[in-house]
Amino acid sequence: MKLWQKDKASLAEVEKFTVGNDREFDLMLAPFDVLGSIAHVTMLESAGLLTRVEREELVKELRNIYNSTQNASFIINPEVEDVHSQVEYLLTKKLGDTGKKIHSARSRNDQVLVDVKLFLRNELEELVNTILPFFELLQSQSEKYKNHLLPGYTHLQLAMPSSFGLWFGAYAEGLVDDVITIKAAYDVVNKNPLGSAAGYGSSFPINRTLTTKLLGFADLNYNVVYAQMGRGKAERIAAQSLANVAETLAKLSMDTCLYLNQNFDFISFPAELTTGSSIMPHKKNPDVFELIRSHCNRIKALPNEIILMTTNLPSGYHRDLQLLKEHLFPAFKTLKDCIGMAGLMLSNIEIKKDILADEKYKYLFSVEEVNKLVNTGTPFRDAYKKIGYNIESGNFKYNSEIHHTHEGSIGNLCTAEIKKQMQTVLESFPFASVKQALYKLLY
């Protein structure tokens, strides 16, 4: 069934190519398509385009369809083009002419727009909820291992003393900024495009403010042309927020692979969390972190993929946009899985003690010795030259005790302050009001 079909069908090859994998990804949109339809028919009644009885019949049946999307019994029939057609088909089969009225004052263009935005809004919320326990784990490990020193590097050369408290804490704070960018993406997708129709509005006296409220959107995409132009842009911004989280995870994974290497030997994991070799019996490979690294690097490419797929498109809808789902939708699950696996690994990490007691790390303390001279009145540049000369002449003496007290240093991790930053960001999401609005639609 084609919503646009009149008296001639497309050639089978054309149909197969244009539909592509869309049915598979439309199943992910099904519950959101139903939600959008419930809001739409409620609005149609207020505009005089449906009777109260018709609206009640449609809402009742749409709620039944919604329930089928939650228990995996909802399918898109092979002869049906997309999720929008399937929902209309089911309504018409059950309600006859009343089901045929559901498409008044909208197009598949704004229908898929609202579906995608509702889907992205939900996925971004799930992503935030996945990040939070991982953030808490990093903070917990930061405090637990704050007195365990390790080498800090610049240019992959020994630099200054660091600590596992700093290391875990750095990635925790990184997630704060990542969630800020998720909030920015959430704000973009949390605007209602429904009512823009094919991109040029409708001559029906529809009430777009009403559907905005019913669906829990924060506001409208007011300009109907821009509402359609937002397709691709919303996906790219959402993908960028995923890429930021992926960058944090990829860097953490690379650190972990290095630190597990025998030449570093800073950490270890239980054997059941690593893999072995088919010929080398001593191997404990960090396959989990290697795969996280690679998955996340692919996700980091997503914004570029999307922007290239929409490059040089003029305003208005184009079928190119259909393919964005194939690239973006699976990335949410992949990223959440990566976060979950990273949490499992870091929950079971074993940290080596007294790493810096090895003399090969003695030059990490060169800055400490410079600073000691400065504290006794020596100008910094003279102190720097003196310690540098001692190093070159083989006369460098050092003490491994360190006393860093400023905010964010080894001795002052500011864990509580970082937690407060995260809490502030989390409180800025309107998750509760969105849930309340959708609950009212469904019950």
- Strand 191-192 vs strand 219-220: parallel, antiparallel, or unpaired? parallel
- Strand 219-220 vs strand 267-268: parallel, antiparallel, or unpaired? unpaired
| Own/partner pairs, 89-98, CB within 8 angstroms, 24+ separation | 89/1, 90/61, 90/65, 91/58, 91/61, 91/62, 91/65, 94/61, 95/57, 95/58, 95/61, 98/54, 98/57, 98/58
Helix (H, G, I), strand (E, B) or coil at 200: coil
Q: Look-up: residue for tokens 């019996």? A: 281
Residue 7's pLDDT is what? 52
Residue by residue, pLDDT tens for the chain (443 residues) are 555 455 555 577 887 777 777 788 899 999 999 999 999 999 999 999 999 999 999 999 999 999 999 998 999 998 888 999 999 999 999 999 999 999 999 999 999 999 999 999 999 999 999 999 999 999 999 999 999 999 999 999 999 999 999 999 999 999 999 999 999 999 999 999 999 999 999 999 999 999 999 999 999 999 999 999 999 999 999 999 999 999 999 999 999 999 999 999 999 999 999 887 678 878 788 999 999 999 999 999 999 999 999 999 999 888 888 889 998 999 999 999 999 999 999 999 999 999 999 999 999 999 999 999 999 999 999 999 999 999 999 999 999 999 999 999 999 999 999 999 999 999 999 999 999 999 999 99
Residue 277's pLDDT is what? 67
pLDDT 10s digits, 55-81: 999 999 999 999 999 998 999 998 888
Residue 11's pLDDT is what? 75
Is the distance from CB of 129 to CB of 106 less than 8 angstroms?
A: no
Residue 24's pLDDT is what? 84
Phi and psi at 158, nearest 5°, equal: -55, 135
**Tokens for 11?**
């050639």
Give the pTM: 0.93
Residue 10's pLDDT is what? 57
Residue 54's pLDDT is what? 97
pLDDT 10s digits, 400-428: 999 999 999 999 999 999 999 999 999 99
